[in-house]
A and B are shown apart, each in its own frame.
Chain A
Amino acid sequence: QQQVKQSPQSLIVQKGGISIINCAYENTAFDYFPWYQQFPGKGPALLIAIRPDVSEKKEGRFTISFNKSAKQFSLHIMDSQPGDSATYFCAAPSNTGKLIFGQGTTLQVKP
């Protein structure tokens, strides 16, 4: 069964710092790699997504870096804020097209 490996499991960053979360995936014929953000008591919500025809996508303080040859992608949160404290999930498409989610990273940004 296909897996997506996400690390670290938890992360503590000072306000203004850079948060980095990494994911590794297995072979897939599809090309859509999203990151979801989940606040306590809420369902996950799409944060940012990338197609691997580009190596990087930036939206505000959030950037996805994609390394297709290594089958790895990462989320960078620049100038991290306490409001960014949440659980982050990466996802990769399975060979049947449905999304396989990573185990999640709990981010705490200290003021």
Chain B
Amino acid sequence: GAGVSQSPSNKVTEKGKDVELRCDPISGHTALYWYRQSLGQGLEFLIYFQGNSAPDKSGLPSDRFSAERTGGSVSTLTIQRTQQEDSAVYLCASSLGGGASGNNEQFFGPGTRLTVL
């Protein structure tokens, strides 16, 4: 497909379990972003990968959250020891390059809805 894909689309887990969320960006896009959207809330920045540079992890809410991007393509967001407040939609976006400009439109995936019981 031509767009950003994410899996799973829905994930229900028990408090304390670890979860992995996957993002497949658009081919050729060097920048990849993870956001969190809680019910009725805005888009909370989590982490940003740009090419081979060190990721910008400034938005990760705690050390239970981590993300990897392998081979400059697929990314996995891992949440360890999940808590109920982690329940949200996790969105991934990719762009051709990094930085905010008209050449770097962010294309979003459909998101993964995470529910922690």
Contact = CB atoms under 8 A, between A and B. Distances in A.
Contacts of A89: 42-43
A27 to B, nearest CB: 14
Contacts of B72: none
A30 B99 contact: yes
Contacts of B106: 46, 99
The size class of the interface chain B forms with chain A is 20 to 34
Interface string A60-84: 0000000000000000000000000
Q: What's the dominant secondary structure at chain B's contact region?
A: loop
A98 B109 CA distance: 18
The size class of the interface chain A forms with chain B is 20 to 34
Contacts of B105: 34, 46, 49
Nearest to A101: B43
Given A98-B33, A101-B43, A42 B110 contact: yes
Closest 8 CB pairs of A and B: A43-B108, A93-B100, A97-B99, A103-B42, A101-B43, A32-B100, A104-B42, A32-B101
Interface of A: 6, 30-32, 34, 36, 41-46, 49, 51, 89, 91-94, 96-104, 106
Interface of B: 4, 33, 35, 40-43, 45, 48, 56, 91, 93, 98-102, 105-111
Given A30-B100, A43-B4, A43-B109, 20 more contacts: A30-B99, A32-B102, A41-B110, A43-B110, A43-B111, A44-B91, A89-B42, A93-B99, A93-B100, A94-B100, A97-B100, A98-B45, A98-B56, A98-B98, A100-B45, A101-B42, A101-B45, A103-B42, A104-B41, A104-B43
